[in-house]
Amino acid sequence: MIYTMIAGAIAVVFGIALLLFPNALKGLSSVCDNILFVLDEYFRPRQKLVGIVLLLIGAWLLLINLIYPQLSLLMVIWIIALFFGLLFIAMPGLLKSISSIADQKVLDTDEYVRRSNRLVGIIFLLAGLYIIVIALMYR
């Protein structure tokens, strides 16, 4: 449960930061983009391993969701983990294509978050508080 509490706390911190300090997050965004680019290059030769880890995490969350069906939010997370785990293992080229198309044509998430910082901040804040409450209820 400690990991759940940490995830909730991180979401709350980012929610508050988006609400109170949206301009400071621009610099953080560019730093994170550089780090993610390095991570992408690092993980590219290890895509199968990343896929296996995502499948294990998805299966673990599925098991938890079967034990505690009232944690309905977990269903979305384990489905996403299993989906991307399978993509990393079975179709890594397709995953890269989807990512580049989504970045160019569908939605520039950095720009969207900058324009909608209040909405995204409130969503993060509420999601983080929900996660913390659920973790406290089931510990």
Closest CA to 84 of 43, 112, 31: 43
| Total domains, the chain | 1
Percent over 70 (pLDDT), the chain: 72
Task: Give pLDDT, residue 74.
Answer: 76
Taking residues 30-59, report their average pLDDT: 75
In this structure, are residues 9 and 136 in contact, taking their beta carbons and an 8 Å threshold?
no
Q: Which residue has the higher pLDDT, 128 or 23?
A: 128
Residue 20 token pair: 């109170």
- What is the value of pTM for the model shown? 0.50
In this structure, are residues 113 and 14 in contact, taking their beta carbons and an 8 Å threshold?
no
Each residue's pLDDT tens digit, 10-21: 888 888 888 888
Q: Which domain holds residue 116?
A: 2-137
Task: Give pLDDT, residue 56.
Answer: 93
H helices within 47-103, ranges in order? Answer: 47-67, 73-90, 92-101
